[in-house]
Amino acid sequence: MHSVSEENYIKTIYHLQEGSALVSTNEIATRMNTKASSVTDMLKKLADKNLAEYIPYRGARLTENGWTCAVQIIRKHRLWEVFLVQKLNFAWDEVHDVAEQLEHIQSRKLINELDKLLGYPKRDPHGDPIPDQHGNFEKTHKTLVSQLNKGDRGTLVGVMDSSSQFLKYLDKHQIQLGTSIQILDREEFDQSFSIQANDKTLQISEQIADNLYLKLQE
Amino acid sequence: MHSVSEENYIKTIYHLQEGSALVSTNEIATRMNTKASSVTDMLKKLADKNLAEYIPYRGARLTENGWTCAVQIIRKHRLWEVFLVQKLNFAWDEVHDVAEQLEHIQSRKLINELDKLLGYPKRDPHGDPIPDQHGNFEKTHKTLVSQLNKGDRGTLVGVMDSSSQFLKYLDKHQIQLGTSIQILDREEFDQSFSIQANDKTLQISEQIADNLYLKLQE
DNA sequence: TTTTATTTTTAGTCTTGTCTAAATATTATT
DNA sequence: AATAATATTTAGACAAGACTAAAAATAAAA
Ligand SMILES: [Mn+2]
Ligand SMILES: [Mn+2]
Ligand SMILES: [Mn+2]
Ligand SMILES: [Mn+2]
């Protein structure tokens, strides 16, 4: 149907797009480690195929069509991630690159049977929701640690960054999905946090706080 | 490492090559539904990468390197086929096209864990042997039905053609791997056979006899 | 052993997806 | 409002992989 490249662009736009706002050429280029000129070319192509709306010099947003397509790719990506962790003993920091390849395999039956094999999971190993066959998925109530205040507490329900580097950092401190976290203090100078996790106190930089999603308690 | 195209060429040459004989440009082109000129281009590229030996106007054969590579692709292809049948409820005639895509996924860990999950199977759903991590696999003693004579009997251990069309034909007559088959008669006129399978007599054309592998009894 | 038929290669073109460098548009700053 | 800085697009090039048509080599037939 669509090429691997087209699919990767569609997915990227989906992830960058908030609501119905336009996503800029440069944002896409940066995220995809490609050049702005390449993005421009592709945006024209996606517009031709009615997958994105493209307004020169302003940016692009997915059409209904493109959105549906993105959700299906994301469904595949996340189901494969669950498969790798649940069935093939991958760690949560090892799955991303492989899923990046597997998400482009074309077979309706394959992905629906995989879904069944895994017991129709609702979340991937990073806490992200998995769309069902029809593209429906739960939107989660979650807040970035960086936006919390002293005293707030909750449990880790997601990570913004799924890179191996970041996830290994969390592993090192035994922080995983479900871990209970409390904000002990916030340093005004560098916006760093002091948090409590696993009965231990931990200093985390703003950058780390920016990648942890909590579900607040009460 | 290698592109999907390169891998498909390597696999095709592997399948066409008998011993150390050269495979002709046209044979490859026919098998791959491509043009001879495209094959020539690719053979040069494979030779440059030391994956094949290419003698202009004569043909090509895999190098040691290319052979190793081919065996790994075939390992992946067949393991994925087993996975699809064993874990995802695919029929043996549905797996080929999907495995054709999956065989190109790059991840050592993925394929070795898949192997483990499946219990280190020795054969794929079509009776073909599955190479292990090191590329070793059993060579099977099998004979085409078309080369047998009246009275010969054996069990089906493989099929030459894995197309959905052919496999569905076998399904229709309840012929599967392990089915016991006896040659009742051979018609000299059109080389067709009369065989016994599942306590029923069946007339099969030469073309069908040419795609069934038996392991002879005693 | 010529001549003919077939196979293979070469030359040139096309598409997809990428890049660099230059041109243009937009945004920010004086 | 003019200028500087930044973002975006265009123009032109390139690599991979495919194709067609023509040329060259090999094999088959007369
Ligand atoms: Mn991808
Ligand atoms: Mn994920
Ligand atoms: Mn393939
Ligand atoms: Mn097979």
Residues A164-183 pLDDT 10s = 999 999 999 999 999 999 99
Q: Is residue A126 part of a domain?
A: no
Distance from CA of B114 to the nearest CA of A (A): 6
Name the closest residue on chain A to residue B101, using Cα atoms: A105
Range of the domain at A163: 143-216
Task: Tokens 């002990």: give the residue.
Answer: A184
How deeply is A90 buried, as exposed, middle or buried, from its count of CB atoms within 10 A (0-12, 13-18, 19+)? buried
Give A58 CA → C29 C1' in Å.
22
Give B31 CA → D27 C1' in Å.
22
Choose the final residue of a domain: B62, B91, B112: B62
Say whether pLDDT at A134 is over 80.
yes
Nucleotide nearest to A32 (CA to C1'): C18
Distance from CA of B102 to the nearest CA of A (A): 7
Segment holding B38, helix H or strand E:
helix B36-48
CATH, residue B185: 2.30.30.90
Does B107 contact A98 at a Cβ distance shorter than 8 Å? Answer: yes
Residue type, B9: Y
Which regions of chain A does DSSP assign to beta strands (E)? 52-55, 59-62, 143-144, 153-159, 180-186, 193-197, 200-204, 212-216
Question: Chain-wide mean pLDDT for chain A?
Answer: 96
Nucleotide nearest to B35 (CA to C1'): D19
Q: Is residue B165 part of a domain?
A: yes
How far CA B164 is from CA of B8, B20, B75, in Å, comes to: 20, 31, 21
A216 is written with which tokens? 């607040």
Distance, CA of A136 to CA of A116 (rounded, Å): 16
Q: Is residue A174 part of a domain?
A: yes
Does A106 contact B109 at a Cβ distance shorter than 8 Å? Answer: no
Choose the final residue of a domain: B62, B85, B105: B62
Pick from B87, B101, B109: CB nearest A106: B101
Does B114 contact A89 at a Cβ distance shorter than 8 Å? Answer: no
Task: Tokens 């592709």: give the residue.
Answer: A42
Pick from A89, A101, A117: CB nearest B106: A101
CATH, residue A22: 1.10.10.10
Pick from A87, A97, A113: CB nearest B89: A113
**Counting ligands in written order, which one lies closest to the CA of residue B7?**
3
Residue B132: Cβ within 10 Å count: 14
**Tens digit of pLDDT for each residue in A32-73?**
999 999 999 999 999 999 999 999 999 999 999 999 999 999
Residues in B touching A113 (Cβ below 8 Å): 88-90
**Tens digit of pLDDT for each residue in A91-124?**
999 999 999 999 999 999 999 999 999 999 999 9
Residue type, A157: V
Does B102 contact A101 at a Cβ distance shorter than 8 Å? Answer: no
Segment holding A151, helix H or strand E:
none
DSSP type of residue B142:
-
Q: What is the count of structural domains for chain B?
A: 2
Residues in B touching A80 (Cβ below 8 Å): none
pLDDT at A217: 86
Distance from CA of B46 to the nearest CA of A (A): 24
> How many residues belong to chain B?
218
Q: Is residue A48 part of a domain?
A: yes
A91 inside 8 A of chain B by CB: no
Closest CA relative to residue B212, chosen from B188, B177, B187, B186: B177
pLDDT at A213: 97
Residues in B touching A110 (Cβ below 8 Å): 84, 88, 98
A193-199: list long-range contacts, CB under 8 Å, 24+ apart. Answer: A193/A145, A193/A146, A195/A145, A197/A173, A198/A173, A198/A174
Residuewise pLDDT in 10s, chain B (218 residues)? 899 999 999 999 999 999 999 999 999 999 999 999 999 999 999 999 999 999 999 999 999 999 999 999 999 999 999 999 999 999 999 999 999 999 999 999 999 999 999 999 999 999 999 999 999 999 989 999 999 999 999 999 999 999 999 999 999 999 999 999 999 999 989 889 999 999 999 999 999 999 999 999 87
Say whether pLDDT at A218 is over 80.
no
Q: Is residue B206 part of a domain?
A: yes
Closest CA relative to residue A71, chosen from A22, A155, A139, A161: A139
H helix intervals, A49-197: 64-86, 95-102, 108-117, 164-172
Distance, CA of B33 to CA of B55 (rounded, Å): 22
Mutate to test the interface with A, among B85, B109, B112 (most CBs of A within 10 A): B109
Ligand 4 center–CA A123 separation, angstroms:
33
| pTM for this model (two decimals) | 0.95
A148 inside 8 A of chain B by CB: no
Closest CA relative to residue B76, chosen from B35, B107, B40: B107
pLDDT at A177: 97
Residues in A touching B102 (Cβ below 8 Å): 105
A90 inside 8 A of chain B by CB: yes
B81 inside 8 A of chain A by CB: no
A33 inside 8 A of chain B by CB: no
Strand, coil or helix: A110: helix
The rounded radius of gyration (Å) of the Cα atoms in chain B is: 19
φ/ψ of residue A2, rounded to 5: -110, 155
Contact (CB, 8 A) for A197 and A175: yes
Distance from CA of A62 to the nearest CA of B (A): 27
pLDDT at A11: 98
Ligand 3 center–CA B80 separation, angstroms:
12
B167 inside 8 A of chain A by CB: no
Distance, CA of A70 to CA of A65 (rounded, Å): 9
Q: Is residue B80 part of a domain?
A: no
Contact (CB, 8 A) for A127 and A158: yes
Q: Is residue B67 part of a domain?
A: no
Q: Is residue B74 part of a domain?
A: no
How is the beta sheet containing B193-197 ordered, strand by strand? B143-144, B212-216, B153-159, B180-186, B193-197, B200-204
